[in-house]
Amino acid sequence: MPNQALAKLSDALLDSDKSLEMISQLVLSTSKKLTGSKQGYVASIDPETGDNVIHVQAENLKGCAISKMYKTLIFQKGADGLYPKLLGHSLNLRKGFFTNFPKAHPASEGLPEGHICINNYLSVPAILGEELVGQIGLANSKNGYSKVELEAIKKVAALYALALQQKRASDELKYRDCILKSTFNSSIDGLVVVDINGKILFSNSKFLQIWGLSEAFFLEKKWKKLLDFISEQLLTPEAFLSNMQKCTPSPEAQVDYLYLKDGRIFEWHSTPLMTDLNLKGRVWSFRDVTSQRTAEKTILDAKLRAEEANRSKTEFLATMSHELRTPLNSIIGFSDILLAQMYGALNEKQLKYLGNISKSGKHLLTIINDILDISKVESGNESLFFEPVEIAAVFEDVKNLSFPFAASKNISLSFAVEPPNLYIRVDKIKFKQILHNLVSNALKFTPRAGKVWVRAEKIQNTLEISVQDSGIGIPKEKQELIFEPFKQVDSSLSREYAGTGLGLSLVKKFVKMHGGEISVQSEINKGTLFRVSLPFLPLHKALFQVEKEIIKE
């Protein structure tokens, strides 16, 4: 009889879908039958708090006054780690016991007021490995308890412990499955999981939505049927099916795009589903990237149009510059010939007018040359020819070019190189143009009887060039503006100080082409300081001469 009851209980507990209350009820019912007990309860230990929670109790125990006070009876674990009184004795010992004289038992501390009378008591803990997981408590057997009943309930408690373990594992799986499904369904991607045999294991709601499918479509769970459906929506189904065949047995992740007949574009990813290095299937994700790709194409098209427009502008400027320079060179040349009075003497008024023609023509030619230089730089057609350059020699050339204008305004112009025999590898023409533009700019905006200082010195591996003046200065908020083409601090300056604002823009571009930096410091009515830093490569004078000979050859 006991063995049959245990076998029946074991079969009943195998059903993992049973609730904890149903499991406890089966355990209590069997325990009462095996021991002839009138009262009893079955409890489990809360894994978080350690409290002993009673799930079911005998019907006649529910009539107990103490039971009516609580919806769920909980025997809390004490601060000392022990459970209270006689009902907690087996939990504290971690082994079963019985007593037919509960009032005389050492663990007995009496019963609460209104509690039913306990004539005898048997309790067995449910233990799983080293973990205390539950308890079976029985009371008031007609004939009292013996070792026979204790051993029988120990077997029931063992089955109960296994049932609790199975229940916990089942609940954990359901919880993980819930997390997984919730995560999948919250994804913006359409997801479908397929095993190695082509059976669909799972798909999320987003997948159904983007493909316009109902859940009924997946009843057969056939991956091939789904692939056929997807292929019908594509512009190039053959390529898609070919990719699927290559991808399915591969242990590598794959990514590609699908172009649908309705104009949508999907990005798909396929990730292998691996267990112990064995391929078990694949996870497929599909994302609608139509808006993103359309936006990218719009941006790319706009970029190409802008580049084409810029290229056309640059080509136009270069062409016009060449076309304008030809007649200008003739105007300047013939005016200079006449000014030299090679074909006869001229009166004072004629010389003045010819001088204005020559001066204006040369100014216009300078502007055209600057525009041509900028167009070359912006089009990427401007290149550098690096050669060893003696800095003092370049300074002397720039000084000779700038001196007449400085003298006309009685401006003190000084140049210094420290040490005097510095050499650097640069594009000589561009290097001279950088210096000439900076010095010309300083002279232009410096009042009469002012000062301009030009200095070059080696600081570690950098050549530092400074051009400082005592001119009108630049407001702080406008100091970045001056490096932009055709920009000046104030448009009125273009009337008082001739210029287009191209010089400093060219300077910055040429400095950048050399891998250098340019900065400006200025204060209104106190002057301006431009600093140019260029990568410095010192060359010995003998090596300088040899290298120049090699370059000439």
Mind listing the pLDDT tens digit for each residue in 16-66? 678 888 888 989 999 999 999 998 999 999 988 888 888 877 554 555 544
pLDDT over 70 percentage in the chain = 86
Check pLDDT > 80 for residue 324: no
pLDDT of residue 489: 53
3-class DSSP assignment, residue 100:
coil
CA atoms of 27 and 136, how far apart (whole Å): 8
Determine the pLDDT at residue 542.
39
Q: What is the pLDDT of residue 73?
A: 75
3 state DSSP class of 208? helix
Strand partners, 171: none
Res. 548 pLDDT band, cuts 50 70 90: very low
pLDDT for 215 equals 81
The answer to whether residue 494 scores a pLDDT higher than 50 is no
Q: Once rounded to an integer, what is the mean pLDDT over residues 71-86? A: 80
- pLDDT value at position 318? 66
Coil, helix or strand for 447?
coil
Residue 538 or residue 128, greater confidence: 128
Range name among 70-74, 92-96, 345-349 with the lowest pLDDT average: 70-74
For 207, 236, 269, the CA distances from 265, given in Å and listed in that order, are 15, 12, 13
**pLDDT average, residue stretch 285-309:** 85
Separation in Å, CA 7 to CA 133, 138, 156, 479: 22, 21, 10, 94
3-class secondary-structure state, position 521? strand
Give residue 72's pLDDT: 57
Q: What is the pLDDT of residue 420?
A: 85
Rounded CA separation 416/414 (Å): 7
Mean pLDDT of 186-212: 86
Extended strands (E) in 484-526? 517-523
Could you give all domains of the chain from N- to C-terminal order, each with its CATH number? 2-174 (3.30.450.40), 187-288 (3.30.450.20), 293-379 (1.10.287), 386-552 (3.30.565.10)
pLDDT score, position 151: 93
Sign of CA dihedral 456, 458, 459, 461: positive
Confidence class for position 451, pLDDT limits 50, 70, 90: very high
Give phi and psi for 117, each to the nearest 5: -75, 135
Q: Residues with Cβ < 8 Å from 30, sequence gap 6 or more?
A: 5, 6, 8, 9, 156
Distance CA 59, CA 118 (A): 15
pLDDT band, residue 155 (cuts 50/70/90): very high
* pLDDT value for 32: 92
* Statement: residue 480 has pLDDT above 90: no
Q: Given a cut of 80, is residue 304 above it in pLDDT?
A: yes
- In whole angstroms, give the CA distance from residue 160 to residue 13: 8
pLDDT digits (tens, 9 = 90+) for 106-144: 888 766 655 678 899 999 999 998 899 999 999 999 889
| DSSP at 294 | H
Identify the band that residue 197 occupies on the pLDDT scale cut at 50, 70 and 90.
Answer: confident
The predicted pLDDT at position 47 comes to 87
Task: Give strand pairing partners of 198.
Answer: none
Strand partners, 458: 463
The DSSP code for 115 is: P
Instruction: Please write the tens of the pLDDT for every residue from 399-431.
Output: 988 888 889 899 999 999 988 888 889 999 889
Which CB contacts under 8 angstroms, 24+ apart, belong to 15-18? Answer: 16/166, 16/167, 16/170, 17/170, 18/167
DSSP state of 486: T
Answer whether the bond into residue 102 is a cis peptide, omega within 30°.
no
Contact, 282 vs 273, CB < 8 A?
yes
Neighbours of 435 (CB within 10 A): 25
What are phi and psi for residue 550, nearest 5 degrees?
Answer: -65, -40
**Which pLDDT score, from 0 to 100, does residue 495 have?**
46
Instruction: Say what the pLDDT of residue 402 is.
Output: 87
Confidence of residue 146 (pLDDT cuts 50, 70, 90): very high
Helix (H) or strand (E) holding 472: none
Which residue has better confidence, 248 or 490? 248
Round to whole Å and give the CA distance between 437 and 401. 11
For the entire predicted model, the pTM comes to 0.47
Is residue 491's pLDDT more than 80?
A: no
Average pLDDT of the chain, as a whole number: 82
